[in-house]
Amino acid sequence: MKFQIGIDLGGTKTEIAVLNTHGEMVYRQRCPTPSNSYEAILDAMCGLVNAAVSQTGMARPLQIGIGMPGCLDVDSSLVRGSNTQVLNHQPLKKDLEHKLGCEVRLQNDANCLALSEAIDGAGAQGRVVFAAILGTGCGGGVVVDRQLLTGRHAIAGEWGHNPLPWPSVEELQIPPCWCGQTGCLETWLSGIAFAQDHARHTAHHLSAQDIVHAMRQGDEFATQSFQRYVNRLGRALAQVINLIDPDCIVLGGGMSNVQEIYPSIGEEISKYSFGVKATTPVRQAVYGDSSGVRGAAWLCD
């Protein structure tokens, strides 16, 4: 039996999983990410791999896949754009390959979600799958025929830093994104952005979860905030459809758990998609929090 090892290197936890050829998770372990030391992160990852090998009895891997926020710069091969700051500008791939004695394949977490869901998750029936993370941040990934589309600069699918399309005058008056631009989708569609929008309209500072709870209790202002959110998500996904017209759209991250999105999103997309009623299925990620680690494992041959 052939096994594939994936690691999800998150800001707070690092998780390893071993999948068999049927995609079944035969081993899983996690540890806190020592986020203040690069060396400690390397050691923690090696420790997880060594434990997985000894506890499953598998042969030492020839490859491992890693999903993480951020990516490798195509020119320098150093990490950039990671919210675990100590990883930025580090030769993570080279250092891990040296320590583990195997090939390391790295992708950002949204690409891992897209790959996981396109191979055997919510997008498994489609040739072209777009997946978006609506969580602390807002990322995206594109899979075509079960292969990631990474692109010339390794930024294919970085939808979260495109601007919100068809903005109202009010929507042009918002704070800049951390990336240096203004109006990015991340400043509208992350969980934090949803809470900030609600606060701007109501002066009530609630978490995204509390706003959803209030909406379910019939709160009028929470309902309006949610309707604005779904309309903006509809605009953002219409733009994806106008560009690549995927067979399926998969949503992951905290906001994807809000079930009220799914019955109404098609109608919102159709207000903006070019000349057609959008029939694209928009589905919640099947594997939830495990999509990252599963997608990382699928990076291996």
Applying CB under 5 A, which residues contact Zn ion?
A: 161, 177, 179, 181, 184
Q: How far is the CB of 228 from Zn ion (least distance, A)?
A: 19
Q: How far is the CB of 91 from Zn ion (least distance, A)?
A: 26
Indicate the residue among 159 and 287 with the shorter CB distance to Zn ion.
159
d(CA 244, CA 295): 22
290 closest CA partner among 3, 83, 29, 34: 29
Q: How far is the CB of 133 from Zn ion (least distance, A)?
A: 14
Length of the chain: 301
With beta carbons less than 8 A apart as the criterion, state whether 132 and 143 touch. Answer: no
Within 10 Å of residue 59's Cβ, how many Cβ atoms?
Answer: 9
Structure tokens that stand for 301 in this block:
């041959």
Q: How far is the CB of 296 from Zn ion (least distance, A)?
A: 24
Maximum Cα–Cα distance for the chain, whole Å?
Answer: 61
Number of H helices, E strands in the chain: 9, 12
d(CA 236, CA 179): 18
Q: How far is the CB of 266 from Zn ion (least distance, A)?
A: 27
Indicate the residue among 14 and 190 with the shorter CB distance to Zn ion.
190
d(CA 270, CA 234): 8
Indicate the residue among 174 and 214 with the shorter CB distance to Zn ion.
174
**R_g of the chain computed on alpha carbons:** 20
With beta carbons less than 8 A apart as the criterion, state whether 211 and 195 touch. Answer: yes
Indicate the residue among 8 and 186 with the shorter CB distance to Zn ion.
186
d(CA 218, CA 89): 48
Q: How far is the CB of 298 from Zn ion (least distance, A)?
A: 28
Indicate the residue among 179 and 276 with the shorter CB distance to Zn ion.
179
DSSP-derived pairing of the beta strands 63-68 and 79-80: unpaired
User: Alpha carbon of 186 to those of 108, 122, 191, 229: distances in Å?
Assistant: 16, 23, 9, 12
Q: How far is the CB of 201 from Zn ion (least distance, A)?
A: 22
Indicate the residue among 11 and 266 with the shorter CB distance to Zn ion.
11
Q: How far is the CB of 184 from Zn ion (least distance, A)?
A: 3
Cα-Cα end-to-end distance for the chain: 14
Indicate the residue among 115 and 189 with the shorter CB distance to Zn ion.
189
Indicate the residue among 161 and 198 with the shorter CB distance to Zn ion.
161
Element (H, E) at 204: none
